[in-house]
Amino acid sequence: MPPKRRRSNSVRESDTGAVKLPKKLKVVIEHDVPVGLQRSGVVLVTGAGDVGQLGMGSDILEKSRFSLVNMEHEIVDVCAGGMHTVCLTKTGKVLTFGCNDEGALGRITADKEDSEFTADEVELPDKVVQVSAGDSHSAALLCDGRVFIWGTFRVCIA
């Protein structure tokens, strides 16, 4: 019977079960800004829309089936917060709609009637490559690595 072949990988387990690491270990950490998504799609919504979170205007307060949100832009990413939605366009713009009580939309909505109920642009200094949304806040990662966050950050203590 031929002898057992040794494994060729550099991390091995000893007889005691401890992991033996190689003497030299190379670790590479990259901080590259992600490249924006290129495939665009449609935005579908369902549920309650009493504070504009459906993005379909103030006349539609609930949808029991998925419905298309009419957008003038090609959307490549969507994030849903507690009561608001954040959309990223193919050109790197951010559109928001929904509840803006704590500034979660990142734009002024008091000057236009029902402006929370339809998607509108957040003014940012550069192209956005990634978006995120929490309960009452939103965030955008710009192409140069800067991050802009707006809204409020609640802490729940149980």
Q: What's the CATH number where 134 sits?
A: 2.130.10.30
Residue 34 has pLDDT above 60, yes or no: no
Task: Find the domain containing 118 and state its range.
Answer: 44-151
pLDDT tens for 52-106 read: 888 888 888 888 888 888 888 999 999 999 899 999 999 999 999 999 988 999 9
Has residue 34 been placed in a domain?
no
Number of domains in the chain: 1
Q: Let me know if residue 21 belongs to a domain.
A: no
Least confident of 25-29, 30-34, 93-97: 30-34
35 found inside a domain: no
Identify whether the C-beta of residue 132 lies closer than 8 Å to the C-beta of residue 84.
no
